[in-house]
């Protein structure tokens, strides 16, 4: 038996833990740039505000004065998530943290009723210790457990917020009612494709021939069908899976076209990727940089592109990664276009203990590693971004094409830190605001 624990309206529930006056009223948590709704309270859902609703369209559903809109505080959500996972871990077998607000695990008993009691106790404990409401579904496969958790969440009469789907007749009945796109693994495209053939429920989907599913989708679609039929076929992920890719990207406050401005952003994305690699005691060998225009602006020519480079060896050095991210950027940047978003991704990641010493760069790597450790220590102690890469000093090495650029990079923060207090279109900060922003330490940022 698999169980799926799913936090209800997670980001909103976290905010309510710290501010009970948010209970009972419509609350929406917004994405970065305060762009769109990424979590909604039940009251906000009842107003019809859809997931992903752009913030400026909320007025189409209700008077915005009725809705409390909050910028996301993801560090807080991560912390509460960790506490919840720890509590689940006390009773769970093979806990598999699937996302910040969801976890799969296996149940100890064969008996559905005993499992149900165990889970009901767990839900209460999380509510009491952390204050976040959680719903739990359980069944023979993860896909069915997921459906069960939806049922647990949606049914107001179910005070335990636990639902088991273990009886074959009940499963058949439930599937005949569930809309296909509510099934885990069926997204927009597949739903549309299947709908056009009259397949609108999970029940009908389970009767389709495997060969057809393989043709219109891939092996995963076949697996989804098997899972709905009660056949477990999603392999278990070990508890701690190393990342296979790490990405850092931002939508800018508005379109920009200056090469140097974008390059600054690329450097800071690369820096963040490197930092996360070091946190995970890992290193990457492949860097991808991508840039793209604003697809909402019909009045501007649209261009998007990406470039992937393999570095000479695995590295977690901000300098190595930034250097290659910039080289990649130089390959794809085109003048006379405007850009709205950029990002850096690192792949081919290996943990430090898997890595062999590179005979040719060994000494250099060791020096870089020491330097990076020193920077991490300083930043941990005195606040993020006390030491950052200065593109102005290194541009000659990194990207000769940038040589003609003006020398200053004070704008770095606008693309990266995205201060939670900074809301609105791009504009340069005053020195005062900047000092303020830099984590309110007495020190102003040290620029190397």
Partner DNA sequence: TCTGGGGTCCTAGGACCC
Written as six digits, the tokens of 186 are 């069926």
Binding mask 32-71 for DNA (x = CB under 7 A): xx-xx-x-------------x-xxx---------------
H/E segment holding residue 175: helix 168-177
Min CB(442)–DNA separation in Å: 29
Residues 190-219 that bind DNA (CB under 7 A): 190-191, 214, 218-219
Shortest Å distance, C-beta 426 to DNA: 10
Compose the 126-165 pattern: x for residues touching DNA by CB under 7 A, - for all others: --------------------x-------------------
186 makes contact with DNA (CB under 7 A): yes
13 binds DNA (CB under 7 A): no
Q: Kindly state the tokens that stand for 326.
A: 């910039």
In the complex with DNA, the residue whose CB is nearer, 109 or 212, is 212
Nearer residue to DNA within complex by CB, 289 or 409:
289
Helix or strand run (H / E) with residue 376? helix 362-382
Q: Which is nearer to DNA, 78 or 258 (CB)?
A: 78
How is 64-80 classified by DSSP, letter by letter? GGGSEEEE--HHHHHHH
Question: If we measure between CA atoms, which residue out of 199, 156, 155 comes closest to residue 179?
Answer: 199
Q: If we measure between CA atoms, which residue out of 260, 264, 266 comes closest to residue 406?
A: 260
Q: Which stretch binds DNA (CB under 7 A): 13-21, 247-255, 257-265, 329-337?
A: 247-255
Q: How far is the CB of 48 from DNA (least distance, A)?
A: 17
Residue among 89, 112, 184, 230 that touches DNA (CB under 7 A): 184
How many residues are present in the chain? 448
The span of 19-27, 195-203, 236-244, 316-324 binding DNA (CB under 7 A) equals 236-244
Among the residue ranges 20-28, 124-132, 157-165, 186-194, the one whose residues contact DNA (CB under 7 A):
186-194
Pairing of the two strands 68-71 and 27-30: parallel
> Under a CB-based contact definition with an 8 Å cutoff, are residues 243 and 151 in contact?
no
246 binds DNA (CB under 7 A): yes
Cα separation, 286 vs 271, whole angstroms: 14
d(CA 204, CA 197): 11
Q: How far apart are CA 307 and CA 419, in angstroms?
A: 29
Stretch that binds DNA, among 128-136, 182-190, 358-366, 404-412 (CB under 7 A): 182-190
Under rule CB under 7 A, residue 310 binds DNA: yes
Q: What residues between 391 and 430 interact with DNA by CB under 7 A?
A: 418, 425
Q: Of residues 78, 254, 367, 443, which one binds DNA by CB under 7 A?
A: 254
* CA–CA dist 271, 299 (Å, integer): 33
How far, in Å, CA of 337 to CA of 51, rounded?
Answer: 31
Beta bridge partners of 30: 37, 71
Tokens of 234: 């999603």
Beta bridge partners of 37: 30
For DNA, give the closer residue by CB, 123 or 265.
265
- Residue whose CB is less far from DNA, 118 or 221: 221
> In whole angstroms, what is the distance from residue 354 CA to residue 316 CA?
14
Dihedral sign from CA coordinates of 161, 164, 170, 171: positive
Instruction: Provide the minimum distance between the beta carbon of 268 and DNA in the complex, in angstroms, as a whole number.
Output: 11
Structure tokens at 29: 């948590």
Our finding on whether 302 is near DNA (CB under 7 A) is: no
Place of tokens 């509590």: 87
Instruction: Indicate the Cα dihedral angle 205, 164, 220, 193, nearest 10°.
Output: 30
Residue 226 found at the interface with DNA (CB under 7 A): no
Q: Check residue 286 for interaction with DNA (CB under 7 A).
A: yes
Considering beta carbons, is residue 249 or 313 the nearer one to DNA? 249
Residue ranges in 93-122 that form contacts with DNA under rule CB under 7 A: 98-99, 101-102
The residue ranges that bind DNA (CB under 7 A) are 31-33, 35-36, 38, 52, 54-56, 98-99, 101-102, 146, 183-191, 214, 218-220, 241, 243-251, 253-254, 276, 286, 296, 306-308, 310, 341, 343, 345, 418, 425
């Amino acid at each position: 038996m698999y169980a799926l624990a799913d936090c209800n309206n997670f980001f909103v529930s976290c905010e309510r833990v710290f501010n009970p006056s948010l209970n009972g009223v419509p609350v929406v948590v917004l994405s970065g740039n305060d762009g769109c709704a990424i979590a909604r309270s039940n009251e906000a859902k009842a107003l019809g505000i859809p997931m992903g609703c752009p913030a400026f369209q909320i007025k189409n559903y209700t008077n915005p004065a009725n809705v409390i809109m909050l910028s996301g505080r993801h560090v807080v959500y991560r912390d509460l998530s960790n506490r919840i996972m720890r509590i689940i871990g006390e009773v769970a077998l093979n806990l598999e943290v699937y996302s910040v607000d969801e976890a799969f695990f296996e149940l100890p008993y064969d008996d559905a009723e005993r499992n149900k009691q165990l889970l009901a106790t767990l839900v209460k404990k999380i509510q009491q210790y952390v204050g976040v409401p959680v719903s739990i579904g359980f069944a023979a496969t993860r896909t069915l457990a997921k459906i069960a958790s939806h049922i647990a969440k949606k049914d107001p009469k179910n005070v335990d917020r636990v639902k088991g789907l273990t009886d074959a007749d009940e499963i058949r009945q439930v599937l005949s009612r569930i809309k296909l796109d509510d099934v885990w693994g069926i997204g927009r495209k597949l739903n549309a494709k299947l709908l056009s053939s009259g397949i609108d429920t999970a029940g009908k989907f389970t009767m389709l021939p495997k060969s057809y599913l393989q043709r219109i989708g891939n092996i995963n679609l076949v697996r989804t069908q098997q899972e709905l039929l009660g056949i477990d076929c999603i392999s278990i992920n070990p508890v701690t899976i190393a990342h296979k890719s790490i990405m850092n990207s931002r939508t800018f406050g508005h379109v920009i076209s200056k090469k140097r401005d974008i390059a600054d952003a690329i450097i800071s994305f690369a820096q963040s990727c490197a930092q996360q690699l070091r946190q995970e005691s890992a290193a990457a060998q492949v860097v991808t940089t991508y840039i793209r225009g604003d697809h909402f602006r019909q009045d501007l020519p649209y261009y998007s592109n990406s470039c992937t480079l393999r570095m000479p060896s695995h590295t977690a050095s901000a300098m190595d990664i930034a250097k290659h991210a910039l080289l990649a950027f130089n390959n794809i940047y085109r003048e006379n276009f405007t850009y709205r978003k950029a990002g850096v991704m690192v792949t081919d990641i290996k943990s430090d203990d898997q890595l062999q010493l590179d005979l040719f760069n060994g000494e250099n790597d060791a020096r870089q590693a020491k330097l990076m450790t020193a920077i991490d220590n300083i930043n941990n102690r005195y606040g993020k971004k006390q030491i950052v890469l200065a593109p102005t000093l290194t541009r000659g090495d990194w990207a000769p094409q940038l040589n003609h650029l003006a020398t200053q990079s004070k704008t770095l923060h606008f693309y990266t830190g995205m201060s939670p207090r900074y809301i609105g279109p791009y504009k340069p900060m005053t020195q005062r605001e900047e000092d303020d922003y830099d984590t309110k330490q007495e020190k102003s940022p040290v620029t190397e």
